[in-house]
Amino acid sequence: MLRFDGRKLRPIWALWLLITTVLAGCSRIDANTLFSDYQQRLSRVLDLPAAEVQLTPLPQLSPLPPLPAIRELKYQLTDSRLNLLDLVALRHCNLQLLIAERNNSLGKVMSSANLLGYELQLLAGLKPCLVHPDLTDALKADLQQIYIQKQQQLPLVLQNFLTTDLTLRKQLTGQPRLLTQGASNAVAEPLTALKNLNVLKQQVLAQHETIYPTLTAAFINQQLAVLHHGSFIADWQYSLRQSNAWLTLLNQQLSKLPVASLCQKQAKVEILNNILMQIFIAKVQSYLAELDGISHQLLPELTLLYQGTKLENSVDERLAKPAQQLRDLMKHHVSWYQQLQQQCGTKPPSPKGQHAENR
């Protein structure tokens, strides 16, 4: 007869428990998961609507005005032309290859990032041509006019890049994907890319010609590649809006409850205090504080980058206002718990003395 020996399975069972616990601890929680769990717990105590997560639709996001179309944002630029003999003469300045790349089939459909890089390199290369001894005075005079024109148009080339580049526009458009807990660990790379683009912008606007040779198309595209990878800014924007929608919904539900009547039910007040400490402060508020910290890092750079452009108001509407709204909604939500404790004469339990929440 075969006998079942459970003792042989205990080590395997213990190992399985350990693995599942570690995996659970490593999983990242997003706003919808946190808020749905938080709402369920409040619902069980306060009889709020939509207690079951399966029956709870996600809060509706207020629609954002669409970004202006690229054709409405793009400045038309004046082309500068040289005849074939002049182009041959530019071999003395090492500009033939650069100009040829601009005039081939690919160069005629350059992205706004590549065009900005080209214009910066052209200005850097034209500067020594203006005084080159092997060029005729007539050609130098023509190049001087081109140089002045290019220098004057450079801020418009910069604006075309900032407002029409598809990677940058995607960050402002957002996408339906939420940042998870621990996302602040990934903010360094997009933050550095924004800082680098701001350095480029300031150098262009200040006409610091000595730094133009370093501001190549490759440098610009490298910053865009960082922003494109993961689209962190787009996720952060959506996370702000989704969190605000949840807080707005919860604040509306809680505002309809007569706090004074809850004081008559001490058991409920105790459970609410536990929910405050164990769920809201430990999990929800921790996540929202991380979002707020990301806002404090990214917003100044984005505001500076788009300052003076046709998308300045869009950045304010899509990023600055939601970030401030999150802080305001958080204060309003916390004030409900403060009101509860003041009217009921209770205090939240200390971390060591918390009772397990009724499940």
Q: pLDDT tens per residue, the chain (359 residues)?
A: 434 344 443 443 343 333 333 333 334 688 899 999 999 999 889 887 654 444 456 788 878 889 999 999 999 988 776 655 566 667 777 777 777 777 665 656 789 999 999 999 989 988 888 888 888 888 888 889 888 999 999 999 999 999 999 999 999 998 899 999 999 999 999 999 999 999 999 999 999 988 999 999 999 999 999 999 989 999 999 999 999 999 999 999 999 888 888 888 888 899 999 999 999 999 999 999 999 999 999 999 999 999 999 999 999 999 999 999 999 999 999 999 999 989 988 776 655 444 444 44
pLDDT at res. 133: 84
For residue 311, the Cα-to-chain-centroid distance in whole angstroms is 15
Neighbours of 68 (CB within 10 A): 14
pLDDT at res. 349: 62
pLDDT at res. 182: 93
pLDDT at res. 24: 36
Question: Are 169 and 305 contacting, i.e. CB atoms less than 8 angstroms apart?
Answer: no
pLDDT at res. 106: 61
Tokens of 286: 């921790």
pLDDT at res. 97: 77
- Classify 355 in phi/psi space as left (phi over 0), alpha (psi -120 to 50) or beta: beta
CB neighbour list of residue 136: distance below 8 Å, 6 or more residues apart: 89
Neighbours of 330 (CB within 10 A): 20
Provide the H-helix boundaries in 47-131. Answer: 70-73, 84-89, 96-103, 112-129
pLDDT at res. 130: 86
Kindly tell me the number of DSSP H helices and DSSP E strands found in the chain.
Answer: 16, 0
pLDDT at res. 152: 94
Question: Are 124 and 140 contacting, i.e. CB atoms less than 8 angstroms apart?
Answer: no
Question: Are 48 and 253 contacting, i.e. CB atoms less than 8 angstroms apart?
Answer: yes
CB neighbour list of residue 320: distance below 8 Å, 6 or more residues apart: 299, 303
> Cβ-count burial of 223 within 10 angstroms (0-12 exposed, 13-18 middle, 19+ buried)?
buried
> Cβ-count burial of 82 within 10 angstroms (0-12 exposed, 13-18 middle, 19+ buried)?
middle
How far apart are the two ends of the chain, measured CA to CA in Å? 44
> Cβ-count burial of 67 within 10 angstroms (0-12 exposed, 13-18 middle, 19+ buried)?
middle
pLDDT at res. 62: 79
pTM: 0.84
- Distance CA(4)–CA(166), nearest Å, equals 64
Return the closest-CA partner of residue 150 out of 84, 95, 89.
95
- Distance CA(219)–CA(200), nearest Å, equals 10
